[in-house]
Amino acid sequence: MIRVMLVDDHPLVLEGLRAMMDAERDIQVVATTTEGERVPELVRLHRPDVVVLDLELGTTNGYEVLKKLRADQLQIRVLVLTAYGDGESMRAALEHQADGIALKTDAPARTVDALRAVHSGVLVFPQAARRWMRKANEKQIAGPGSLSDREREVWALLAAGLSNGVIATQLGVSASTVKFHTQNLFQKLGVNNRTAAAVEYEKRIPAAARVREKLV
């Protein structure tokens, strides 16, 4: 029997997931929560085999939950279940040591299969994201801290004064993914806030290049 804990900030989604899992003879839902901050506590209490984790969790996000679970060295497998199918979200989840990724847009049977695969120790994530990530890795560019194309996009929009939410909308990714890139950007640039990052952009990126970025 696979013991499962479900984490999503939408109660209706939780109910749907629970109904889907309850229909499987080899899966038992032992806990659910809409609060990401409670996940480590509930893992210790209910000892699930797999946590099915959303990336967007209101006051926190799935990346922070993953970081906490790994820092606490809790022996748990985590399947990220998200509406965001872009490669950047996939890469961020894997870098935070997710054991697998599935999309909310997938058929229920595929989600259940992904859960079983993760439980057995198989790393799973969508094929479309796999292709996107391969292309992204091929496009690593030289520059401050060897920024990726996506990090340069976030940097340009951040320097223009846009919030993470607006940047996420423009790039078609989650706000959590933008936050992930922003943190990486700060580290690579050697800064600790948005203002300093914007100053570095003005210093390091030639005016002509800035014009091209705006035209793309």
Q: Measured in whole angstroms, how far is the alpha carbon of residue 59 from the centre of its chain?
A: 15
What is the CATH class of 2-130? alpha beta
Q: Tell me the HSE value of 77 on the side-chain side, using a 13 A CA sphere.
A: 20
> What is the share, in percent, of the chain residues with pLDDT greater than 90?
41
User: What is the pLDDT at residue 129?
Assistant: 58
Question: 3-class SS at 202?
Answer: helix
Q: What is the pLDDT of residue 142?
A: 38
| 140-215 CATH, one of 3.30.70.270, 1.10.10.10, 1.10.150.120, 1.10.540.10 | 1.10.10.10
Mean pLDDT along residues 114-128: 84
Give the integer Cα–Cα distance in Å for 37 and 47. Answer: 16
- Over the range 143-168, which residues count as b (16 or more CB within 10 Å of their CB) and which as e? ebeebbebbbbbbbbbbeebebeebb
Q: What is the pLDDT of residue 45?
A: 96
Q: What pLDDT sits at residue 40?
A: 95
**In the prediction, which pLDDT does 126 show?**
72
Please report the pLDDT score of residue 85 as a whole number.
72
Residues 75-91: pLDDT tens digits? 899 999 988 777 677 77
> What does the block give as tokens for 93?
């989840």
What amino acid is encoded at 98 in this protein?
A
φ, ψ of residue 96 in degrees (nearest 5): -90, 15
pLDDT tens per residue across span 130-146: 565 555 554 443 344 57
Q: Is there a shared CATH topology between the 2-130 domain and the 140-215 domain?
A: no
Sorting pLDDT into bands at 50, 70 and 90, what band is 212?
very low
3-state DSSP assignment of residue 18: helix
Taking the whole predicted model, whether its pTM rises above 0.85 is answered as: no
For the chain, the structural domain boundaries read 2-130, 140-215
Q: Please give the pLDDT value at position 133.
A: 56
Q: What is the predicted pLDDT for the residue at 128?
A: 58
Can you give the pLDDT at residue 8?
96
